[in-house]
Copies of this chain bind each other. A is one copy, B any other.
């Protein structure tokens, strides 16, 4: 902590957070034990259990809490009631799948504290994304309530269970429940620090378009001895489609793809250059060296402000041990586009599908399956909450808070604006090496602890 807090309202809350750290960590470990993988139907009951856990926990600190059924996984909405500004907090209790399981050093749903060379971490699926982050805010509320009996604002906590699987129930739920969700501002904790000790407030988010395509060839798998050379092989067609999505300079070839992609402003370019992003170190962490995006772009542009097209998965034919001389009947790929500026996800989806269809030979057909489409988002940094939070964060952390871009896609921010006319502020305490969506996900204990303290400070700054 960089300063001694003397404020009579804030200081005892921070003390309480410090004193309660072991108990709050135990609570998080309990939540992490629930395998709430939303994309896999086999875990539907577990998602429900995670929602129930939150309901019980929020009720225990005096929130009026309801579990709302959807056609997918339930939503949890909790109201503190009380005076002060109306604040909505959003987090998600669902997690990513855990495969490849053999790359985990332990059961992803048997979380534990681990001492590492870089400090203590909470290890387990969801530790960082997003259960640990979600709990920083709830723990801040718990401490405040314990010290002062009431919260300094009229707070609604809104937890979703479908964030990792395209949020199919979210928009209908926002539309139907605007009255219980709408607030002066939304706080979202699903992002990271900039580096290890610089807190960050997000100014822009990339959108996300997810597409799955299946190329069908022969009516069944064929023997390559009998049919090899004469039968159309859909794996070859898929490879050709994927290979054609980028040109030699790394630009994406989908027609019209770059419509609405803005150039970086001089101001933002200068501010990002000030961050002295070390691309070599960033990539070195994951065994890489060279920025692989569009030629001639800053590395920070590649991850924050340029659109992308990535293969997230592909499969065809025999992929087990050994060899099988089969010509596959079909080949499948999951492809995602990260979008920026005013790129239109629906127009891009249509253009992508047309481009693929045009490449499919007579003896194949292609089937598409959508996995969501959200536009990029620009945050309302002139809202007073931004300056208040920036000061509060700068007080907690060694370095002053930075305004940064975010390569990820958190469509909820855009939805809040679109459906509830509510600005959102994204602040999170994850680190680049948290391995979210990967084996051995972790959340630094310091992220959890200082994150909780940060929210107490932000609540104080927004309500003082």
Contact = CB atoms under 8 A, between A and B. Distances in A.
A97 B320 contact: yes
Given A314-B317, A334-B318, A236 B225 contact: no
Instruction: Work out how many copies of this chain go into the complex.
Output: 2
Given A40-B322, A323-B372, A220 B438 contact: yes
Interface in A180-237: 206, 208, 210, 212, 217-233, 235-236
Contacts of A322: 39-40, 97, 165-166, 371
A291 B230 contact: yes
Given A99-B318, A220-B435, A288-B363, A302 B165 contact: no
Sorting the interface of chain A by its residue count into under 10, 10 to 19, 20 to 34 or 35 or more gives 35 or more
A325 interface: yes
A239 B243 contact: yes
A73 interface: no
Nearest to A220: B438
A318 B313 contact: yes
Contact of A308 (B229, B239, B242, B303): B229
Interface of A: 39-41, 96-97, 99-100, 103, 164-166, 206, 208, 210, 212, 217-233, 235-236, 238-246, 279, 282-283, 286-294, 299, 302-303, 306-308, 310-328, 331-332, 334, 336, 338, 361-363, 371-372, 406-409, 432, 435-439
30 contacts: A40-B321, A97-B324, A99-B318, A103-B220, A210-B325, A223-B438, A225-B338, A225-B406, A225-B408, A226-B436, A227-B303, A228-B308, A228-B407, A229-B294, A229-B303, A230-B282, A232-B292, A236-B245, A236-B246, A236-B310, A240-B243, A288-B363, A310-B325, A310-B327, A313-B316, A313-B318, A313-B326, A314-B315, A315-B315, A323-B336
